Amino acid sequence: MTFSDIFKSSFLENVDAISPLDMVLALVLAFGVGLFIFLIYKKTYSGVMYSSSFGVTLVALTMITTLVILAVTSNVVLSLGMVGALSIVRFRTAIKEPLDIAFLFWAIAAGIVLAAGMIPLAVFGSVLIGIILLLFANRKDMSNPYIVVLSCEGHDSEKQALAFLKDTTKKCTVKSKTARKGEVELNLEVRLKNDDTDFVNALSELPGVHSAVLVSYNGDYMG
């Protein structure tokens, strides 16, 4: 083995595998698309507590995916090793909002498409997805269910309260009933006819009704 063979390395041979212009262009575009995804996420977020770190993660994830795919496309042998290396990565962070999963896949897909050189597809697809999310993510649905927690004295007041709810709401369904001596507690799912919740005030003033609580329910949590 000669002295030159010692310093001969396939690692150094891969330095020129990707041109600097391609690297800079791909990462700048990935940053722009990732920033666009972050802005759409910020506009459409409707959860309980907004996480700015998740928004920054979307930008970083787009750029990181672009970086990885650029390396994979430049070397077939490296792509096989990369699959094995990434297969040991495990993510334990729980996704609380279902829509967050769509943003994560969007960031990953945008990074892959950009690194593959399909720039028009990445830009046009991201713009179209962003418009769709803006149109539908924050759309208010008047048929969202609500839970009414009703406490009344007995059968007569319960019957009167149920008749009142059926007249003032679009739909009223008993979900649970707890009967104690001199007290009946009901959990009812109701659909409002409009955005007006003043019927709860009138419900609480009915004879025999101790209390009436209206709780918003979106299928994920109550509160």
Q: Is residue 221 part of a domain?
A: no
Residues 111 and 79 occupy one common structural domain: yes
Q: Is 145 in a helix, a strand, or coil?
A: strand
Q: Is residue 124 part of a domain?
A: yes
Residues 156 and 105 occupy one common structural domain: no
Question: So what's the pLDDT on residue 63?
Answer: 92
Q: Is residue 82 part of a domain?
A: yes
Residues 167 and 120 occupy one common structural domain: no
Question: So what's the pLDDT on residue 39?
Answer: 92
Residues 129 and 110 occupy one common structural domain: yes
Q: Is residue 80 part of a domain?
A: yes
- Distance (Å, rounded) from C-alpha 62 to C-alpha 115? 10
DSSP state, residue 15: T
Q: Is residue 2 part of a domain?
A: no
DSSP 195-223: S--THHHHHHTSTTEEEEEEEEB-SS-B-
Question: So what's the pLDDT on residue 210?
Answer: 86
Residues 15 and 98 occupy one common structural domain: yes
Predicted structure pTM score: 0.60
Residues 167 and 86 occupy one common structural domain: no
Judge whether 168 and 197 are in contact, CB under 8 Å.
no
User: Strand (E) positions, the chain?
Assistant: 145-152, 171-180, 183-191, 209-216
Residues 76 and 177 occupy one common structural domain: no
- Distance (Å, rounded) from C-alpha 108 to C-alpha 58? 9
Residue 202: which domain range? 145-216
Residues 88 and 169 occupy one common structural domain: no
Question: So what's the pLDDT on residue 7?
Answer: 47
Domain stops at, among 106, 136, 166: 136
Q: Is residue 223 part of a domain?
A: no
Residues 102 and 19 occupy one common structural domain: yes
DSSP 41-61: HHHH--SSS--HHHHHHHHHH
> Which portions of the chain are predicted below pLDDT 50?
1, 3, 6-7, 220-223
- Distance (Å, rounded) from C-alpha 164 to C-alpha 203? 7
Judge whether 173 and 146 are in contact, CB under 8 Å.
no
| Domains of the chain: total | 2
Q: Is residue 166 part of a domain?
A: yes
Domain stops at, among 87, 111, 136: 136
Domain stops at, among 90, 111, 136: 136
Residues 32 and 52 occupy one common structural domain: yes
Could you read off the pLDDT of 126-140 as tens digits, one per residue? Answer: 999 999 988 887 665
Residue whose tokens read 């979307």: 58
Residues 123 and 165 occupy one common structural domain: no
Q: Is residue 3 part of a domain?
A: no
Residues 6 or more apart in contact with residue 133 via CB below 8 angstroms = 40, 44, 102
